[in-house]
Chains A and B, each alone.
Chain A
Amino acid sequence: MVLVLCIGDLHIPHRQTDLPSKFKSLLVPGKIHHILSTGNLCTSEVYDYLKTVCSDLHVARGDFDEPNKYPDEEVLQVGAFRIGLCHGHQVVPWGNTSALALLQRRLNVDILVTGHTHQYWAEKFENRFIINPGSATGAYSTMTTKPVPSFVLMDVDGDKATVYYYELHGEELKVDKSEFSKSA
């Protein structure tokens, strides 16, 4: 059992003051094995914070990250899954499933983790899985009018992945779950 945190588009300090304290108290150090960040950490303080949650931190460059700090794309193997990571502003039209599926075919990944839209979204597409963990701070977005803070926790067990999706509505925390297994 491997826990993978998918989190990104925090946009601190440009669009938000901080990560919601409810999220902070959920993200205790020592529980998570990998962090896949869809980027837009914007400052090294946020990067350092995520590092404290889990030192195995992978970040894809967001459109508001410093140039050359993070790669545009990254692929890594977790359990039976090849997982690809890309912020998504490079994929035009933004947030388009077919365009993301194209990227997914190129990266040859079972799961693509992508962000940019600030809207949680998960879809199974031709035996592959695309996840957008949304914006962890619910930051302003040109694409989503009322973004809410959200992130995704993936529990990978061999060829099975259980995806827990956390969303904060005001003070109320909503948790949702879906499953994805790799077909042979």
Chain B
Amino acid sequence: MVAQQETVLSDEQAKWLQEAGTSVKRNAFYMKRALDDDNLREALRYSAAMLGELRTSLLTPQRYFELYMQAFNELQHLEGFFRDETKKGRSYADLYELVQHAGNVLPRLYLLCMVGACFIRGGEGAARDILKDLVEMCKGVQHPTRGLFLRSYLCQVSKGLLPDTGSEFESEEGGRIQDAVDFLLLNFTEMNKLWVRMQHQGAQRDRDRREKERQQLADLVGKNLTYLSQLEGLNFELYQGQVHPRVLEQVVGCRDDLAQQYLMQCVVQVFPDDFHLGTLSPLLAALPQLQPGVKIHVILSSLLDRLARYASVQSTVVEAFDEAGVFQKLLEAAKSVVTQQSGMQSADVTAMYIALVQFTSAVYPDRLDYINQALTACHTALAERSAQEGEGVGAEKQLVQLLSIPLDSYDVVTVLALDKYPSVMALLSPPTRKEMAVKIVDAILKTGTLVDTVQRVGMLFDFIAPLATDVEGVEAPEDDEDFEEEQNLMARLMHQLKAPTLDGQFEVLKAARDRITQGGPNRLKHTIPAIAFAALAVVRGLSAEGQQGQSKTEPVLQFIHSLTAQLAEAGGAAEMALQLFLAAAQAASDEAHLDVIAYEFFEQAFIIYEEAIPDSSSERTALASIVGALQRIRVFSPDSRASLVHKATGYSAKLLRKADQCRAVLACSHLLWQEEEAQADPPSANGDTPAPAPEPSATDDASPDDSSPAGRTSEAVQLQAPVRDAEGVMSCLKRALKIAHAAQQQTAVARRANDTEPVSLFVEILNHYIFYFEAGLPTITASVLQNLLDLVQNDMAGDSCQKDSALVAFYKNTLGHIELQRARGGPAAERYKQIKVPA
């Protein structure tokens, strides 16, 4: 409907324009012919007729402009003729009189303007008087569009003829800069009045279209200001004393949204930076008085952009800003706009503060307090508005933008000092608040910023509260995956909490723990492992500094203990808790040399294994980890170690499947045979002297008077010599064989004749015999190995085994290993020579 209407309108417009244009052309033709005939009177008649077409009220400003330009071009001919006329001796004063005879006011005024300009240019008349005359006479046209174009014409033709300082038209009679300013200001004022009046023309329903048309005319009005700013003689005093107050008076006084919006920005754009600095107070004072529909933040932000650019070019400007108290003025202005413009949208309020914070971070990079003040003011304004309206703040996009400025300008640790930041964040809706928190964490991770003090950790957690705790009003995350991603982000963040000293680091981790534990069990699960590992690194650091032992490492290990216990209690994280206990046990042994604590960690791991490991696959992994970790431990006295080994071996035998049992028991055999350390004494040359199970090396300096583990507090002890219990290994291996036999019988009972698993267990056991044979265990003699080898060879001969290519390869590889070892030379090779390898 509307579109259709507009097409009709536009068709009509084109028709009217064409008609008027034709008339302009025709009259121009006759005008030029009259000029050729040197018939001035006729020429004036036709030119008046031509200009008469501009009296139309039918055309839109856009079309009217086209017609105006057409007439404007034709007028050039007349102007040229006038110049020639004066050379022939006719004075401009005569011409000035002559054109007054034009019948209609509009053509007459156009002609007067043109002649008037020639008059000044020719030096015949005083610029001051003629300009004053013209600008006053133009009041005769009060129709907005016609008047605006007429005055625009006046402005256009008189450009360069003003009695500006240093201009050839400046003189005692011709006038001074003051007259040039007066002329432009008066023209500006009159044009603005016409422009504003336009909105009251015509029907109310056409208002939108009319405003659009008015918008198109804005530059005609603004041209006066541009010319003003281009005056050579316009110094600061003149600007401050006259131009600025008179322009603002007009702008504020016209009470028109469109005009105020355009002209305020025009003022900001056209006049120089230092003028703005000097007139900042009155300029800012005008802002709150503007119409409610004016986008004040847009004006303010162009002003602040200019000031910031000004400051970036000249270093002395910032000092000048300080002297002028620029920041305080801006802040007060923003506050006062908020107070007086009660209808201002929250989004616009925020946009205004965005401009202010951007300005501050650009001009005063080290004045964080300014940013804080701006945030405070913004928070106050928005909180009040939302309280009054009884609904949320809205303005999410702008608030996010506002909060992002400090993150982009400073590193996050600096931003943490903005104590008002979290309150502004709190104005966001919960989902957006969380997004903002994610953004903060991302910024830390991306830049690798370290959060290095307890205080900062506290502030950080305030900032990212929506990630660390449940937020009121938000349901628990619906999507587990999203929640997990969020919490993984938090876990990664924990590694950025890093103090320069180990003591400080421990404090930082404790502070993080305090905050993390407020987040409930679901969050704990993700973040506790990260804190625990960071704490393990502290233990390692202390050990590297030679600070093993109770006073330093014990509190850290206790901290890890309580964290891991919390994790175990949280539920659903049993495997992780078990692994953490094992890692901590190894640290307690390797780094801190605290046997009692290491034992406690193992005990906790065993309890979890017994009570909380959910399925057999997890059981296998958990048991492998327990055995692997315990195998390495060197801190335990033989008694403590024996109980743990006993327990672990017991678990192995309790696994459901015989094959799993057998493999686990084989792994447990290694608990009784630790490797020599690289720097320790090499094993005896022929390898058949058994290393005796070592006595507990209770040393004088470490554990002076107590040999019972139960009664001891955690004193650092010396590491024990490696365990070398050849008998124990042998009994483990025998146990494995027994299980493999049982498995074999089981398959027979179940008539699974093709099940080769028992045989592959035998091959695996054989390989363990080989392992220990090479390690030189006195219990694994050549004949023991030979017996097993023969047994396996016998089993392997079976049909089903021969069909199992993986098993055949395993066995073949095993024999191949023996061959290679035998060929290699050295002590093991010698002993291998006693072995008869089946062909």
Contacts and interface: CB of A to CB of B under 8 A. Distances in A.
A91 B768 CA distance: 12
Residue among A12, A44, A127, A140 with most chain B CB within 10 A: A140
A89 B537 CA distance: 21
Residue among B670, B674, B768 with most chain A CB within 10 A: B670
A30 interface: no
A17 B489 CA distance: 9
B478 to A, nearest CB: 18
B230 to A, nearest CB: 53
Given A17-B445, A18-B445, A127-B820, 15 more contacts: A13-B489, A13-B491, A13-B495, A14-B530, A15-B495, A15-B533, A89-B625, A92-B670, A93-B670, A98-B775, A99-B771, A106-B763, A126-B817, A126-B820, A140-B537
B764 A106 contact: yes
Interface stretch (B338-346, B627-635, B778-786): B627-635
Interface stretch (B166-174, B366-374, B614-622): B614-622
A40 to B, nearest CB: 11
A17 B817 contact: no
A93 B526 CA distance: 30
18 contacts: A13-B526, A14-B491, A14-B529, A14-B530, A14-B533, A16-B492, A17-B445, A18-B492, A67-B618, A67-B621, A89-B624, A99-B771, A105-B810, A105-B813, A106-B763, A126-B817, A142-B629, A145-B544
A67 B574 CA distance: 11
Interface stretch (B208-216, B247-255, B428-436, B579-587): B579-587
Nearest to A43: B488
Given A14-B529, A108-B813, A67 B631 contact: no
Contacts of B445: 17-18
B767 A13 contact: no
B678 to A, nearest CB: 12
Contacts of B470: none
A13 B579 contact: no
Contacts of A49: none
Contact of A17 (B485, B496, B529, B767): B496
Interface string B757-771: 000000110011011
The secondary structure that dominates the A interface is: loop
Interface in B450-493: 481, 484-485, 488-489, 491-493
A108 B809 CA distance: 6
B276 interface: no
A92 B617 contact: no
- List the 3 closest A-B pairs by CB distance, nearest first: A13-B491, A105-B813, A108-B809
Contacts of A140: 533, 536-537, 540
Contacts of A61: 621
Contacts of A89: 621, 624-625, 628
B623 to A, nearest CB: 10
Nearest to A141: B583
B809 A13 contact: no
Contacts of A93: 628, 631-632, 670, 674-675
Residue among A13, A45, A68, A143 with most chain B CB within 10 A: A13
Contacts of B579: 63-64
Interface in A1-36: 11-18
A112 to B, nearest CB: 12
B234 to A, nearest CB: 55
B575 interface: yes
Nearest to A11: B533
B621 A92 contact: no
B814 interface: yes
B586 A142 contact: yes
Contact of A94 (B485, B628, B775): B628
B667 interface: yes
A73 to B, nearest CB: 12
A101 interface: yes
Contacts of A52: none
B164 interface: no
Residue among B621, B667, B767 with most chain A CB within 10 A: B621
B774 interface: yes
B806 interface: yes
Interface of A: 11-18, 43-45, 61, 63-64, 67-68, 89-94, 96, 98-99, 101-102, 104-106, 108, 126-127, 140, 142-143, 145
B74 interface: no
A68 B621 CA distance: 10
Interface in B556-606: 575-576, 579, 583, 586-587, 590
A181 B536 CA distance: 41
A93 B771 CA distance: 11
Contacts of B820: 126-127
A114 B615 CA distance: 25
A13 B488 contact: yes
A43 B484 CA distance: 9
Contacts of B814: 105
A17 B494 CA distance: 8
A44 B617 CA distance: 20
Contact of A106 (B484, B493, B810): B810
B806 A92 contact: no
Contacts of A13: 488-489, 491-492, 494-495, 526, 530
Contacts of B675: 93, 96
B594 to A, nearest CB: 15
A92 B810 CA distance: 19
B296 to A, nearest CB: 44
Nearest to B806: A108
A143 B675 CA distance: 14
B495 A142 contact: no
Contacts of B774: 98
B664 to A, nearest CB: 10
A14 B535 CA distance: 12
B583 A142 contact: yes
Nearest to A63: B625
Contacts of B775: 98
B736 to A, nearest CB: 13
Nearest to A94: B628
Given A67-B617, A145-B540, A16 B495 contact: yes
Contacts of B481: 44
B165 to A, nearest CB: 61
Contacts of A45: 485, 488
A33 B771 CA distance: 36
Contacts of A68: 615, 617
B492 A12 contact: yes
Interface in B519-544: 526, 529-530, 533, 536-537, 540, 544
A151 B725 CA distance: 38
Given A45-B485, A92-B624, A105-B817, A67 B583 contact: no
Nearest to B591: A145
Contacts of A64: 576, 579
Nearest to A12: B492
A90 B617 CA distance: 12
A102 B816 CA distance: 12
A18 B448 CA distance: 10
B42 to A, nearest CB: 83
B632 A63 contact: no
A142 B533 CA distance: 10
A64 B674 CA distance: 25
Nearest to A126: B820
Contacts of A98: 771, 774-775
Contacts of B628: 89-94
Contacts of B544: 145
A102 B736 CA distance: 16
Contacts of B484: 43
Contacts of B586: 142
B758 to A, nearest CB: 15
Contact of B767 (A105, A108, A127): A105
A102 B771 contact: yes
Contacts of B575: 67
Contacts of B816: 126
